[in-house]
Chain A
Amino acid sequence: MEQQDFSAKDSLQLIESMISKAQNRFNENGHLYLLWGWVVLVCSITSFVSVYFFQSFKNLMYIWMLTIPTVIYQMIYLARKKKSETVRTYTDEITNFVWVVFVVMGFLVGIIIGRSGHPELFNPLILMLYGMPTFLSGVILKFVPLRIGAISCWVLALVSVFIPYQFSFLLLGLAVITTWIVPGYLLRLRFKTQF
């Protein structure tokens, strides 16, 4: 790009093209959506089997411990990703904060439910919470499947209070398929096809 005299119209075209080059960069490859989608799906189905067929609630804690190595992996993955990034957009930053808010709220809900003596409310509340970051990510990334996934989460949250507690684990599994797994594969496809 050489320096030269250029008209007002050229200037505006240049501004427009550069802004679009910076903005249209799609930085979400769906990797973490898929990772968490499959981990939570495995945990929720195993929880259902444990509770429904073996009436064992004690195992739940061990089953969900699978999320601990997932968190460790996620931290390493994000640190590496941050290192390789050449640009940081406001979109990336806001999306990250939306998920941080979800983790904090999920953690608080866990403690509050634990203290309340109503563990059966945990799944409906988590389902309701799931919808929030998913819907906002869908808006920020301009990605409709995430918004649809979020709405399905809210519907499942409502359904879960009308069915026996054990089955809410299956709804949790269904929710991660619609909110993370399906959009995750679609995000991956969109990321790959942008190049």
Chain B
Amino acid sequence: MFKDLDPILHSQLRLAVMSLLIGVKEAEFTFIKEKTGSTAGNLSVQISKLKEAGYVDVVKQFKDNYPQTICKITPQGVTAFEAYVKALQTYLPK
């Protein structure tokens, strides 16, 4: 039986962001941008959606007078990511 895939995570860039964050403690916006190869605008929109869903925490601060955005996956995000991967498995040929 096919399980419904979480629409928040079933989007290429949002899934890429979550997959990066699941393995690290926290990452700067610039790191995520570099690794996903996305544009700053698109990435910013997708991170906002993840934040609204409660999947990531976003901290905005200043470092050497420059704005810095730090992202971190939340426990709710980890649960959603695990559920998404489990649901994906039902789509794969046994």
Please give the residue numbers on chain A whose beta carbons come within 8 Å of chain B beta carbons, in ascending order.
Answer: 1-4, 6-9, 11-12, 14-15, 17-19, 21-23, 83, 86-90, 92-93
In the assembled complex, the Cα of A22 lies from the Cα of B32 at a distance in Å of 9
Given that A8-B92, A14-B15, A19-B19 are known contacts, is A88 also in contact with B63, CB under 8 Å in the complex? no
Q: Taking the complex as formed, is B13 at the interface, i.e. its CB lies under 8 A from any CB of chain A?
A: yes
Partner of A14, one of B16, B23, B26, B63: B16
Q: Is the CB of A1 within 8 A of B36?
A: yes
B44 to A: closest C-beta gap in Å: 13
Partner of A6, one of B12, B21, B26, B64: B12
Given that A1-B37, A8-B88, A22-B20 are known contacts, is A15 also in contact with B27, CB under 8 Å in the complex? no
In the assembled complex, the Cα of A2 lies from the Cα of B41 at a distance in Å of 12
Q: Which residue of A lies closest to B36 (CB)?
A: A1
Given that A87-B31, A88-B25 are known contacts, is A14 also in contact with B92, CB under 8 Å in the complex? no
In the assembled complex, the Cα of A17 lies from the Cα of B19 at a distance in Å of 9
Q: Is the CB of B92 within 8 A of A19?
A: no
B 12-52 contacts with A by CB, 8 A: 12-13, 15-16, 19-28, 30-31, 34-38, 42, 46
B40 to A: closest C-beta gap in Å: 12
Partner of A19, one of B11, B23, B64: B23
Q: Please indicate the chain A residues that have their CB under 8 angstroms from the CB of B28 in the complex.
A: 86-87
Given that A14-B15, A83-B64 are known contacts, is A21 also in contact with B30, CB under 8 Å in the complex? no
Q: Taking the complex as formed, is B60 at the interface, i.e. its CB lies under 8 A from any CB of chain A?
A: no
Q: Is the CB of A8 within 8 A of B91?
A: yes
Q: Taking the complex as formed, is B85 at the interface, i.e. its CB lies under 8 A from any CB of chain A?
A: yes
Interface centre among A2, A3, A12, A19 (most CB of B within 10 A): A3
B26 to A: closest C-beta gap in Å: 5
